[in-house]
Structure 1
């Protein structure tokens, strides 16, 4: 059997032999796991591919949760996995509403390390000079909890940051020492990331964060703390409220001594009326930004382009707690056109074909998907998931050799519905794009959004919470009633035919509403979800709010309300 680990240099071989490698992956997984309690029920020790496809059911988390919990509670790993489970990965809990734990072993982190190296290699081929500088990272590792049996539990990204793989890979790549990334207090860590990045501004060639929302949050934090940061640089001393000693000491070494010249330069840029291009003004050698801007993160493209003077936005990889899936081999594509080339050696992939109405129409292998068609991915991995439904809807956008490339379309579940209408995540993001085009006629930029269905009055209607920022000032937002009503109308007009049809029926759905909230509201929302156990590294603002406590945070910050003033055609 071939070696199924990979070196970044092997991308061409991997993608040219996708079918054989996928068959080898499945054979290896079944050989390792066929005698587990879970697979014994269906395969009785067999490793036959056809029997696997015929007998092993397609499952959701609820189906496998009892097995996962048994291992978490101390039963042997071979309940679900032939290799020892070394820890559990915690999902973000902000997409689907509930956090899940997934079993993992060292192969996940070996593969993730290889994918990080591969992403670095890919961007180096497309942009000159990135290896000669450093990245300013906004990475935050959080302390691990443990299961009843003592196995560690944390988010996939935090687990990687805490591993030796990251410590060995990160050496000299980042402006922040590892002590800053490992700092357990989020505010202290963020402050020190920025302080280290500003002091080493001439070495910074990229900014990096797991998600676009994290990067926007970092720039917002900078807006609120730049005076103090400049004061630290001017005096050569770190603020006293940075109380994590290892973090403080490592940052003090980078800070060196007083540097009034640098402090003056930074203050001059930060005092300007507009923060347009602030990233390239503060870090003039920056060549690109590395962060996920696909799916629901696409809402942050406009504000990142504003802050960065339209630097390339590199969305490097598609991965989750369940599996790594693929990499972006075309880093200079527009964010809206990003697709991910699936890597055939990390898991065994199957695909449920999905028709235009979202109905499943059969299962195909990785190499048998068709260009332009839509699929829901199924994962069989090395640590106990078999034919697991991911809930992501993907579209085949091309091929890299024989490996398909997928565009992330949306999460599977309907997000909003009042009556018989069914509005998806994709519908919402498309509507948001139309609304932000209207916003361009004003001085405003959308910083963040979420939504819910308000059925407290009849008829029920869609409510969108927006946090807005003025382009020319950092603290004054003038709300133009005409523009925001037009935004409401633009969103409704871009929704699907079913919504528009139901909306026309008298009393079925009320006018769409935008509620503008105070600046900083979405930071408060993030803090709430993190307090409930969400990972700060993996946090994504929920597309739709289901928590009454989270809704209360939004409601108390509402500045103004605007409604669509016409029924969509």
Structure 2
């Protein structure tokens, strides 16, 4: 039995479904004693890791309560923990954790440098796997047919490596989507949907850093199958699919007709499918996912942040009635929230995974920031996320901001609201979430629509500073519409941010301006970064773009 057949083997699917629903039920049941579970997670990480260098230095064996923990360990970032992590990556035992890291996940920080996130067997067993399985429950419950056959799932983030890069101690240093959890952690059921597809492991040679070519090869293979689910997690990857089909369909048609894959012999010629795709492209002027896969059911990706501006229309590219299921609120460092039903954006706090603390998103995080417990959060407010878990991250500020949607069964449901970084040229302290809400408000008030957006501060002198927004409208905007939108955007920013309101009142900031781009400008920008060698999973939507070179590259087509 090959890997594709193994994934959809009826017995495996039965066991997989049972595990997924059992983990969701366990997490749901834990909500009845969320505070008790938080205390047990704290006790477990302290007991397990107290013999470590970090545990001894911070007196883990003397800590009994969250207040004790707060006094012993400061709020910290990756930079603060990096010396400890580098010791572990170099092979030193018992630095942060009692068990040795099996792999180190990559995660790109604000500087673009790749972090090394230690991933231990105990972390995977107690923190990662329970939330990870539960995350698939809404999909399996409501769209069981997406696992009907090996080629039913196009998993865009799955990217196995034959020879992964390693740390100084020889441990793999890779993305989470590049790890075989079955062989690395003894969890054969953990293989994601789509990892048994014919394109999961490419059958022709391609260099590890040729990410665009790998995306082409997967699409070329997928057009001959009945794909019903696209998994992207990063929504920018999902948005790239219609763009790539539009760009690549002549090459795809030729490969399908000739029975080739990237020009190399593969399979049998399929002139009938090639003719069908060519006819659709000529009829509609392009080839859309809905044309290629008419039985598409769902997309699985983040649905908030900048994606909230473009995902509703993007979903239509994949077919009428296609559902967008929210991927978990999580990072390479650990989970935060997971959707246990079909809610369009929010996930319940994973109270059994980590010790969670939160801080007002409008305040700066410092080592002694006063934090809130989950039961102290208020609906409709934004918070920094700080978590601690047995994998060796203690009071770790992950850099994400979440918005509390509501409370369900006594536990907060959270939406990802954006990164915690700010744009602060003259005291305005604008956060991503505030700008995105302002953009959405101006769009709603005018009936206008966007493919994507970015902004920067212009003006060398503070008194001449202003925000410039680069926008890619779905359809052309008239001059009057642009002026109306700009006025409403300015008003919305006033409402969202006291700092922006004060800066405008003292004339430290002028009114914002617009630069309108072609509809596909952000898609070209995304693809250029992938072509330059950045893994698609790490090329995410970016709102604040102060770098002159990046801004020039994005807006070049507006001037051309």
Fold shared, TM-score > 0.5 on shorter chain:
yes
Alignment RMSD: 3.4
User: Alignment partner for residue 313 of structure 1, among 320, 324, 340?
Assistant: 324
1:527-566, aligned counterparts within 5 Å?
529=529, 534-559=534-559
* Aligned residue in 2 for 1:150: 170
1:196 to 202, 211, 221: 221
Q: Deviations over 1:185-223 (max 9, x none)?
A: 21222112212221013xx22221121110111221111
Q: Which residue of 2 aligns with 1:488?
A: 486
The Cα shift of 1:88 comes to 2.0
The residue number in structure 1 matching 2:271 is 260
Partners of 1:237 and 1:355 lie apart in 2 by: 52
C-alpha distance in 2 between matches for 1:79 and 1:8: 33
Match of 1:54 among 68, 71, 81: 71
Verify the 8 A CA contact 2:253 2:278 in the aligned structure 1: yes
Q: Quick one: structure 1 residues 124 and 171, their matched pair in 2 at CA, closer, same or farther if it must change by over 3 Å?
A: closer
**1:227 aligns to 2:250 (yes or no):** yes
Distance 1:534 1:371, change over 3 A: same
2: CA distance, partners of 1:327 / 1:480: 41
- 1:329 corresponds in structure 2 to 340
1:106 aligns with 2:121: yes
Distance 2:526 2:36 in 1: 44
1:178-257 pair list within 5 angstroms: 178-180=200-202, 184=208, 185-201=210-226, 204-240=227-263, 252=266, 256-257=267-268
Q: Please, which moves more after superposition, 6-15 or 459-468?
A: 6-15
Aligned residues: 521
* Cα offsets for 1:409-429 (capped at 9, x unmatched): 3333323x3423232211211
Q: Compared with structure 1, are the counterparts of its residues 167 and 233 closer, same or farther at alpha carbon in structure 2 (3 Å cutoff)?
A: farther
Correspondent of 1:460 among 462, 465, 474: 465
TM-score by length of 2: 0.82
Distance 1:77 1:482, change over 3 A: farther
> Which residue is equivalent to 1:24?
40
Distance 1:348 1:36, change over 3 A: same
Residue 409 of structure 2 corresponds to 401
Q: Tell me the distance in 1 between the aligned counterparts of 2:434 and 2:223.
A: 39
Shift of 1:468: 4.4
User: Is the 1:85–1:103 contact (alpha carbons within 8 Å) kept by the matching residues of 2?
Assistant: yes
1:438 is displaced (CA, Å) by 6.9
8 Å Cα contact 2:182/2:190 also seen in 1: no
Cα offset, 1:448, TM superposition: 2.8
Residue 42 to residue 397, structure 1, CA distance change in 2 (3 Å): same
How far the C-alpha of 1:319 sits from its partner, in A, is 1.3
CA deviation after TM superposition for structure 1 residue 365, in Å: 3.2
* Corresponding residue SS for 2:416: strand
1:237-280 CA deviation, whole Å, 9 max, x = no partner? 2232x6xxxxx7xxx3xxx423333223322333344769x433
Given that 2:349 and 2:412 are in contact with CA atoms closer than 8 Å, whether structure 1 keeps it comes out as yes
Query: For 1:404-460, what per-residue CA distance to the aligned partner results, in whole angstroms no more than 9, with x for missing partners?
Result: 322333333323x3423232211211222244447755xxx5333222111236611
Equivalent residue of 2:551, what SS?
helix
Give the corresponding residue for 2:346.
339
Matches of residues 139-178 of structure 1 in structure 2 within 5 Å?
139-141=157-159, 143=161, 144-159=164-179, 169-170=191-192, 175-178=197-200
Partner of 1:522: 522
Residue 420 (1) aligns with residue 427 (2): yes
Q: 1:122 to 1:391 in 2, by over 3 A?
A: same
Structure 1: 5+ residue stretches without partners: 1-5, 243-247, 471-477, 561-569
- Aligned partners of 1:7 and 1:369: how far apart in 2? 25
Contact 2:199 / 2:222 at 8 angstroms: preserved in 1? no
CA distance 1:323–1:187, change in 2 (3 Å) = same
Which residue in 2 is equivalent to 1:566?
A: none
Note if contact 1:293-1:300 (Cα within 8 Å) is conserved in structure 2. Answer: no
Residues 326-355 of structure 1 deviation map (CA, whole Å, 9 limit, x = unaligned): 211222x3x4xx211122222222233x28
Pairing partner for 2:153 from 135, 139, 142: 135
Cα distance change, pair 168–53 in 1 and its aligned pair in 2 (3 A): closer
1:286 corresponding residue in structure 2: 296
The answer to whether structure 1 residue 503 and structure 2 residue 538 are counterparts is: no
Hey, what's the Cα distance between the residues in 2 that align with 1:131 and 1:167? 14
**1:380 shift after superposition:** 0.8
2:62 equivalent to 1:40: no
> 1:102–1:463: structure 2 CA closer, same or farther, 3 Å change rule?
same
Question: Could you tell me how far 1:172 is from its partner in structure 2?
Answer: 6.7
Instruction: Quickly say closer, same or farther: Cα 1:77–1:452, change in 2 above 3 A.
Output: farther
Q: Secondary structure at the match of 1:299?
A: helix
SS of 2:105 mapped into structure 1 = strand
Contact kept in structure 1, 2:137 and 2:340, CA below 8 Å: no
1:449 to 2:453 alignment: yes
**Structure 1 residues 520 and 127: CA distance shift in structure 2, 3 A:** closer
Secondary structure, in 3 states, of the residue corresponding to 1:59?
A: coil
**1:137, 1:176 within 8 Å by CA — same for their partners in 2?**
no
Match of 1:363 among 364, 368, 371: 371
